[in-house]
Chain A
Amino acid sequence: MAVKNKNGGQTGNGRKLPAVKRTPSRFRNPIGKYKIRRGPQCIACGKCAELCPEGVHVKAGGKMAKPQDFYCLGFSCKNNPFYCIDKCPVNALRLVENPLCETLGDYRWTSDLLISTWYMAETGDVPRADIEYRIGNSNGGFDKLRLNFPDKMPEPEIPDHEISTAIDLNRSNDSRPRVTIQLPFYGGGMSFGSVSISTMVSRAQAATAWDTFGCTGEGGYPEHLIPYDDHMITQVATGLFGVREQTVQRVRIVEFKYAQGAKPGLGGHLLGDKVTPGVAKMREAVVGNALFSPFPFHSVYSVEDHKKHVDWIKEINPQALVSVKVSTPTDVDMVAVGIFYAGAHIIHLDGSYGGTGAAPDIAKKNIAMPIEYAIPKVHRFLKEEGIRDRITLIASGGLRTAHDVAKAIALGADGVVIGTADMVALECVRCHNCESGRGCARGIASTDPRLSELITIEWGAQRISNLYAAWHKQLVQILRNFGMRSIKELVGRTDCLYHLDYQQEKDESKRAAGGGN
């Protein structure tokens, strides 16, 4: 799908979009899908450098530099007049798929998804190479759902600046502010302790630039985040780590974390190694001692108790919206209704396949229902109860791409929360070792002073902002294809989706095309 940009960078309500600034990888050898091998017969004539519009080949002095092959368009470039492999006068160049990709990624985040997300974080645009940037390979859920675009582009084409991706977070008509965010997604909670300050501030800056939200997670409210108060959600979780009156009063949204998708039904666990002096101070704990958050809230054993909780926050901060984050048990629809009647503004469903924090593998794989089932279940139930219009339904748990966002919304969510995608923008390779030893070897999810130096806030914030820019562009294009002017029109439009495993009125040629939309 070609993403067009014909507007001067404005959102649907005329707001200026944050600037995209090219922000390359921190590493000397970025990973791409393709590799170009330059043979010894190369005469350094520089023809390839002249030809390639992607900047793969660079002539430095009298020599050819190592190819920047992570920009390479790959085999799909073959028909282009600038295809270096065919044009090399001495046949010195060879194009192969990068064998490294076999060891990179997994079913949910394939190597293609990782590489394309890195590309978006660098350039603010979708990759031009033949890389699958919309779906993974999990063989179910989002990876089997497709956007059901009309065969013909709706006429006249709606210009970018008339398409809004903004959503309202307070739909309750109470006296509290109507908080609107410009993107249909915000950042999920990652505590100080689980991730570094640079990572937290990078996310907060990107959220602020895009007029959406970030979240403190449950490890307290580091003072580095105070400048971004208006764009932070603070979490009240079962451990109550770092929760104070000021932290609750400082923000526009307070989130109760009853459960999290990474480990539904289990409490948080910060391993002793990650409890550095800074973390211990914030959490009022002892350095080096593992910290457990209990499960559940030991003060909540009924919906009435839950209401008492919500009232308590509303009392302390009369302007705040209350979000309630729950996971997805069999009766998730009943839970959602209870949350509404207790007076929450946002129901945040966290499905079982997502999460960033350390969790037992058995929980990640087996406990609770995938978000793809939970969204339509809850959406339908809230509609039947006649309350769907008075609450904001936010989904998370394994949303990796802009297409996942659109699919989740079409299934019935108002918006989504993302976490891992932000981490991937910061060059996470999903090695899954966030919890061990000093934490993340790549400095993202680590509080080790030397490791967290690997990321500067300026770099991190721009990478995440670029990713958001790429997602925004894709969402605008998706809405335009459906002839919609606002993402709000897409909510619950399951007719805008089809599932590869199900018969539906859909022309066969599209189905045969498989991945295509």
Chain B
Amino acid sequence: MPKKYHIDFKPTLPRYTPMGKSGIVDFREGCQRCGQCAKKACVYNVYDKRCFDSGQMTDSIDYLCKNCFRCVQSCKKGLLNKSVNPEYVKMGDEYWTPEIISTNWTQAETGKIPVSGAGYGGPFSGPGFDSMWTDMSEIVRPTRDGIHGREYINTSVDIGKKLAMLKFNEQGALESPLPPLIELPIPIIMGFPPFGHVSEKVRIAMAMAAEKLGTFLLVRAEDYHDSLAPYKKYLVPQVSQESYAQFKDKIAGHRAIEFLYSKGIEGLSKEFKQNFPDIIVFIKVPLDGKEVEITEELACGGAEVIHLHADDHGNEIGKTNPRFIKDMVRRVHLRLVEICLRDQITLVASGGIAMAEHVAKGIICGADAVVMDIALLIALECRLCKNCEKHRPCPVTIDSIEPSWGSQRIMNLMSAWRNQLLEVLGAMGIREVRRIRGEVGRSMFFEELEADVFGSLFGEKI
């Protein structure tokens, strides 16, 4: 039996005090020094561990406090109070919310999946990925117990072109030429984030993680430096028709390359395959309204991998009323099913993959694999302040990380995401991530449930 895939995670502390959601406010006036200070009774001893970082102006208590309110409710004079940390609320944007950022931080630190008690506290549903739920098995469909390792759930996906049929000659020997096919142990490809102080150290951290995880890292041609050469096997350089000429001599040793879509890319891709038949070609197609016809055309022309990309929020590119990645990928997938080419081609989706659940949901909507990009930066403590885009210094000096620290944080995050994927697959009773691709029947969509249940009871939706 082949060895089970496992991601080594180990606790890797942040370099800066992470931003906490709320903090204790302490009004010193009026303190009686009663000797029974509520702070001493803290169950989590957060006051003992308290430290103030004057450089960052952060108090560790904002991060350590677990919101039990005991000190607030017990102080003899009622001098302790809690308030929201305005810096926390300001983090990120409406898609990359402070909650998403901080849960990814914790996962990158611990490598563990977030667990909590007392039910769910979030909104009923929401835009984007929040408008769908995944299925579970009950009584007649056995579930799989993957997370604790008692049953093995496979998260591997095949990247490349798959043949519709094999031809054999009269002697029984295989006649069809086999195109290159690479099995990645996780359905998550890493991608260079669209912003950030991506220094050499950051690049190496990401490449090291890709190597250890055994997955691909998509690297823009302009970020491709010689220091990355040792990791070639795991890198997918992204080149345009124009930049290809300069990149030509660096290609040997890679297993895949990505061409950015533009008119005439098929010609280049064909020419490339003649020179490098063993290197898989990804074609990166923007989700901008033309993706279905472009993908269809490329698929009919024999493309191997199509990388569909939305913007950072998972939205359709360049539209005022954008569709969301899950709906766009679903359409492409269904079109490929219709023309009987879906099983021959690989679909990779990127843009707005911010949490573990987005991996499962993206695949259910029709992708073979998804891309983790901005979340890689979050693993390195990014606060999404985007100072880097304004050429201001990074508050967590990402550019100066130790590559081994960075790669461990990324592996921790990946381990947590993979384990959460196992939870979702296990609950569905599915043993192979390949089997949920396009399986919308094992999920529930907000709009459909509303129409089916409430629509039939309460009339038309307003």
A residues neighboring B (CB under 8 Å): 25, 27-31, 66, 99-100, 102-104, 106-109, 138-141, 143-144, 258-259, 262-267, 269, 292, 294-296, 300-303, 306, 326-327, 329-330, 332, 335, 338, 352-370, 372-373, 376-377, 398, 420, 423, 428-438, 440-442, 445, 451, 494, 497-499, 501-504
Q: Find out whether the CB atom of B136 lies under 8 angstroms from the CB atom of A327.
A: yes
Q: Find out whether the CB atom of B43 lies under 8 angstroms from the CB atom of A373.
A: no
For chain B, the count of residues having a C-beta within 8 Å of the partner chain is 75
When C-beta atoms are compared, the residue in chain A nearest to B103 turns out to be A361
Q: Find out whether the CB atom of B457 lies under 8 angstroms from the CB atom of A376.
A: yes
CA distance A442 to B420 in the complex (A): 29
Q: Which of B51-59, B68-76, B198-206, B401-409 contacts A (4 or more CB under 8 A)?
A: B68-76
Q: B50-94: contact bitstring with A at CB < 8 Å (1 yes, 0 no)? A: 000000000000000011111011111010011110000000000
Q: Find out whether the CB atom of A28 lies under 8 angstroms from the CB atom of B74.
A: yes
User: Which residues of chain B are within 8 angstroms of A366 by Cβ–Cβ distance?
Assistant: 133-134, 357, 360-361, 424
Tell me the interface secondary structure of chain A in the complex.
loop
Q: How far is the CB of B265 from chain A (nearest CB, A)?
A: 37
13 more contacts with CB within 8 A, not counting A358-B116, A434-B116, are A28-B74, A100-B81, A330-B444, A369-B449, A370-B124, A373-B454, A398-B120, A433-B67, A441-B70, A494-B457, A497-B457, A499-B458, A503-B460
User: Which residues of chain A are within 8 angstroms of B258 by Cβ–Cβ distance?
Assistant: none
Q: Find out whether the CB atom of A431 lies under 8 angstroms from the CB atom of B423.
A: no
Q: Find out whether the CB atom of A362 lies under 8 angstroms from the CB atom of B113.
A: yes
Q: Find out whether the CB atom of B140 lies under 8 angstroms from the CB atom of A433.
A: no
Q: How far is the CB of B24 from chain A (nearest CB, A)?
A: 10
Q: Find out whether the CB atom of B143 lies under 8 angstroms from the CB atom of A498.
A: no
Q: Find out whether the CB atom of A29 lies under 8 angstroms from the CB atom of B118.
A: no
Q: Find out whether the CB atom of B460 lies under 8 angstroms from the CB atom of A502.
A: yes
User: Which residues of chain A are within 8 angstroms of B116 by Cβ–Cβ distance?
Assistant: 358-359, 361, 364, 432-435
Q: B421-453: contact bitstring with A at CB < 8 Å (1 yes, 0 no)? A: 001101111000000000001111000011011
Q: Find out whether the CB atom of B68 lies under 8 angstroms from the CB atom of A265.
A: no
Among the interface residues A303, A357, A441, A451, which one has the most CB atoms of the partner chain B within 10 A? A441
CA distance A327 to B461 in the complex (A): 28
Q: Is B301 an interface residue (CB 8 A)?
A: no
Q: Find out whether the CB atom of A353 lies under 8 angstroms from the CB atom of B78.
A: no
* A359-B117 contact in complex given A139-B123, A504-B458, C-beta closer than 8 Å: yes
Q: Find out whether the CB atom of B66 lies under 8 angstroms from the CB atom of A431.
A: yes
CA distance A327 to B72 in the complex (A): 37
User: Which residues of chain A are within 8 angstroms of B69 by Cβ–Cβ distance?
Assistant: 31, 104, 429, 431
Q: Find out whether the CB atom of A335 lies under 8 angstroms from the CB atom of B139.
A: yes
CA distance A420 to B150 in the complex (A): 31
CA distance A147 to B87 in the complex (A): 40
| Top 10 closest pairs, chain A to chain B, by CB | A265-B427, A140-B124, A434-B117, A106-B121, A265-B136, A502-B458, A441-B68, A27-B73, A432-B116, A441-B43
CA distance A66 to B76 in the complex (A): 11
CA distance A366 to B449 in the complex (A): 14
Q: Is B1 an interface residue (CB 8 A)?
A: no
**13 A-B Cβ contacts within 8 A?**
A100-B72, A102-B22, A138-B123, A141-B124, A296-B143, A303-B140, A354-B119, A365-B120, A368-B134, A369-B133, A369-B444, A499-B457, A503-B461
CA distance A263 to B137 in the complex (A): 12
* A432-B117 contact in complex given A29-B78, A266-B426, A367-B427, C-beta closer than 8 Å: yes
User: Which residues of chain B are within 8 angstroms of A502 by Cβ–Cβ distance?
Assistant: 454-455, 457-462
Q: Is B302 an interface residue (CB 8 A)?
A: no
CA distance A262 to B407 in the complex (A): 33
